[in-house]
């Protein structure tokens, strides 16, 4: 242990000597030729740039016709409500049906009007969990129906976990497409 202390002290003392030279602080016996030029490390230490000829010219406009081109590039301030009567869209998206509200459980859509079913990968992609979120009402009845549907579709027992206070059901495995298909049939 004592040998490690001695070794560490000698290494630290040499590090201090080299750091003095890099910072530009010279010891009394050092030559000026060893000084390393200091680089600009941040905008605060760089010189002020005052040549206005290097800046791009701009003009302030208050014309509403020109502002329409700018508004196209800005992020939308709200998410528009989806259309009620949609038959077939290329993306396969379907709106929530009213008959889904009569069931003992309800799965709310996300703010972007998507079904809240997510695949979570962990342990370097080896562990896959399917999460169903935003569940309201009788979560145990929903869990039983979903588990039965997944068992019939895959012919394997499915491991699952219910988090009732947060309204989440987790299934062990990648079943996102099967669960979304079942939710669409139910009207969610």
Kindly report, residue by residue over 27-86, the tens digit of the pLDDT. 555 555 444 455 556 667 666 666 666 677 778 888 889 888 888 898 888 888 887 777
Q: What DSSP string describes 115-152?
A: --EEEEEETTTTEEEEEE--EEE-HHHHHHHHHHHHHH
Q: Over the range 94-125, which residues count as b (16 or more CB within 10 Å of their CB) and which as e?
A: eebeeeeeebebbbeeeeeeebbbeeeeeeee
* Per-domain boundaries in the chain: 98-186
- In a 3-state reduction of DSSP, which class is residue 107? strand
On whether the pTM is more than 0.85, the answer is no
> Hey, which residues does 137 pair with through a beta bridge?
105
- Let me know: does 169 contact 135? Beta carbons within 8 Å: yes
Class of CATH domain 98-186: alpha beta
C-alpha to C-alpha distance for 82 and 86, rounded to whole angstroms:
9
Structure confidence by residue, pLDDT tens digits, 102-135: 999 999 999 989 999 999 999 998 999 999 999 9
């Amino acid at each position: 242990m004592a040998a490690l202390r001695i070794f560490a002290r000698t290494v630290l003392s040499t590090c201090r000597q080299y750091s003095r030279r890099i910072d530009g602080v010279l010891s009394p016996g050092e030559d000026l030729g060893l000084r390393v030029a200091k680089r600009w490390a941040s905008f605060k230490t760089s010189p002020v740039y005052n040549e206005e000829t290097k800046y791009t010219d701009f003009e302030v406009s208050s014309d509403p016709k020109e502002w329409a081109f700018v508004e196209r590039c800005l992020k939308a301030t709200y998410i528009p409500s989806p259309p009620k009567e949609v038959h077939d869209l290329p993306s396969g998206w379907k709106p929530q049906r009213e008959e889904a509200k009569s069931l003992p459980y309800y799965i709310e859509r996300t703010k972007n009007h998507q079904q809240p079913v997510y695949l979570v990968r962990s342990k370097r992609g080896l562990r896959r969990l399917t999460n169903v979120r935003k569940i309201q009402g009788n979560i145990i009845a929903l869990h039983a129906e979903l588990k039965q549907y997944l068992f019939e579709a895959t012919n394997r027992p499915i491991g699952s976990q219910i988090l009732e206070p947060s309204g989440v059901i987790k299934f062990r495995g990648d079943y996102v497409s099967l669960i979304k298909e079942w939710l669409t049939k139910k009207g969610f």
